[in-house]
A and B are shown apart, each in its own frame.
Chain A
Amino acid sequence: MSIKSLKARHNDLSKPEIQLEFLNNGIFRQGELPKFKDKIAATGKFPLKPKKLEILQINVGYMCNQVCSHCHVDAGPDRKEIMTKNTMQQCLEVIKNTGAHTLDLTGGAPEMNPHFRWFVEEASKAGIKDFIVRSNLTIILANKKYHDLPEFFKKYNVHVVSSLPFYKKEKTDRQRGEGVFDKSIKALQMLNKVGYAQEGSDLKLDLVYNPAGAFLPTNQEAMEKDFKKALKEDFNIDFNNLFAITNLPISRFLEYLIASENYEDYMYALVEAYNPAAVENVMCTNTISVSWDGWLYDCDFNQMLELKVDSKVKHISEYNEDLLNDRNIVISQHCYGCTAGAGSSCQGSVA
């Protein structure tokens, strides 16, 4: 596992245009790997259009206490991009007026944004039905000032969605760093202790599984069963649902794929597993993603590739849901990751 972000290493792949060039015209001979655009056009799905907006996803910064090898955000302790209070204010205005029922806070480690708690308090007043925070778990133990996060989450009835690559130490630590597994287990126990995923409690704790390597996730339900059994037996941990997410070939995962000479096979595997039924429900069809500096994207992945929404409205300060709903979704070859097999989104399988 590398200890720095691509950006801090001045790696070419930290530049979105280089990633896109590789994705579009990489090592495949022209025409060898079908274009995603042509694939969806074949079933009349091009241009891809949004449905009703349901999820507002806000990325409050790329700073993170971890440097996971598959991170599509290229997050890490060396990333300084953090959403300002001013931009958060603009988001709050939108949250109050939007038709979206789900608010999804992500990062980096969103908890590391100095205004995080204030933002959660303010946003929770807006009457959003499902208030998600994507927590990497280890942040809860990273520093004393985060130890009370489980109580804080409980207070605002935050729906905690946490990544745990596997229910065994070795694989988890290989992907996310030495010691991450033990800390994650401890954090999960802390969340259980305040009531998360306990019978009779409505505090929701979901886990996210993504493969630790160049392969696709298998059946989400089967994986959930295995996770539930192992975590209960070994650590007495409960959680609600498991979301299986495919790693998209961008950022640090792309770096890994290229370095390990798996890129070609991985792309073929994605194309082979292409499932037209998943196109209907890819997350960009019901989500808007806001970056730390307030720009609007179709999804978190497009945000990392700096592919802004194809709309007159491009910034949270000029947010207009009707205009946005009228846009075409910006797609590229990385979108194969969302439509492989049972499909993949921030909420797991979609087909």
Chain B
Amino acid sequence: MPNNYYDAADLRKFGEITEWSEELGKKFFDYYGKVFEEGALSAREKSLIALAVAHVVKCPYCIDAYTKDGLQRGITKEEMMEAVHAGAAIESGATLVHGVQMMNKYKKLSM
């Protein structure tokens, strides 16, 4: 057994989570499948959103999966990198905006 937390081959076994909780697993995969269908947003747009979020939540499985998905859809590497930057900007913005809380607290505690 390899001694590491992430194994790329585990992604293939994702579907198996249903085995230990069939109803919830199935509900999740139905929902997941539905979310990524063509809708008001195209499946292509959703793929880029998923890629950006995958980076923000730092999930290596999702990064692999949505890089491949993007390639399959003919999404260019420039588009993919821009999506990652969009995610990164929101993520760093979200960190920074808490700076206001820090400033508030600082001011409140200071004479």
Interface residues of A (CB under 8 A from B): 166, 168, 211, 213, 215-218, 222-223, 226, 265, 268, 272
**9 cross-chain pairs, A with B, having the tightest CB-CB distances, nearest first:** A218-B72, A215-B71, A218-B73, A215-B72, A215-B68, A226-B74, A268-B12, A223-B74, A216-B72
**Within the complex, what minimum Cβ distance (angstroms) separates B51 from chain A?**
14
- Known contacts being A268-B12, A272-B12, is A213 close to B71, with CB within 8 Å? yes
Interface residues of B (CB under 8 A from A): 8, 12, 43-44, 68, 71-74, 76
Interface of B is mostly: helix
B44 to chain A: which residues have CB within 8 Å?
A: 222
Cα A168 to Cα B79 in complex, Å, equals 13
B74 to chain A: which residues have CB within 8 Å?
A: 166, 218, 223, 226
A222 to chain B: which residues have CB within 8 Å?
A: 43-44, 73
**Within the complex, what minimum Cβ distance (angstroms) separates A54 from chain B?**
30
Structural contact, A217 and B72, CB atoms closer than 8 A: yes
Query: Which A-chain residue is minimally distant from B64 (CB atoms)?
Result: A265
List, sorted by A's number, 17 A–B pairs whose CB atoms are closer than 8 Å.
A166-B74, A211-B71, A211-B72, A213-B71, A215-B68, A215-B71, A215-B72, A216-B72, A217-B72, A218-B74, A222-B43, A222-B44, A222-B73, A223-B74, A226-B74, A268-B12, A272-B12
Cα A217 to Cα B68 in complex, Å, equals 11
A265 to chain B: which residues have CB within 8 Å?
A: 8
Query: Which B-chain residue is minimally distant from A171 (CB atoms)?
Result: B76
**Within the complex, what minimum Cβ distance (angstroms) separates B18 from chain A?**
15
Query: Which A-chain residue is minimally distant from B76 (CB atoms)?
Result: A168
**Within the complex, what minimum Cβ distance (angstroms) separates B69 from chain A?**
8
B71 to chain A: which residues have CB within 8 Å?
A: 211, 213, 215
**Within the complex, what minimum Cβ distance (angstroms) separates B10 from chain A?**
12
Cα A341 to Cα B12 in complex, Å, equals 17
A216 to chain B: which residues have CB within 8 Å?
A: 72
**Within the complex, what minimum Cβ distance (angstroms) separates B64 from chain A?**
9
B43 to chain A: which residues have CB within 8 Å?
A: 222
Cα A211 to Cα B72 in complex, Å, equals 7
Query: Which A-chain residue is minimally distant from B68 (CB atoms)?
Result: A215
A217 to chain B: which residues have CB within 8 Å?
A: 72
B72 to chain A: which residues have CB within 8 Å?
A: 211, 215-218
B68 to chain A: which residues have CB within 8 Å?
A: 215
Query: Which A-chain residue is minimally distant from B44 (CB atoms)?
Result: A222
Cα A79 to Cα B73 in complex, Å, equals 34
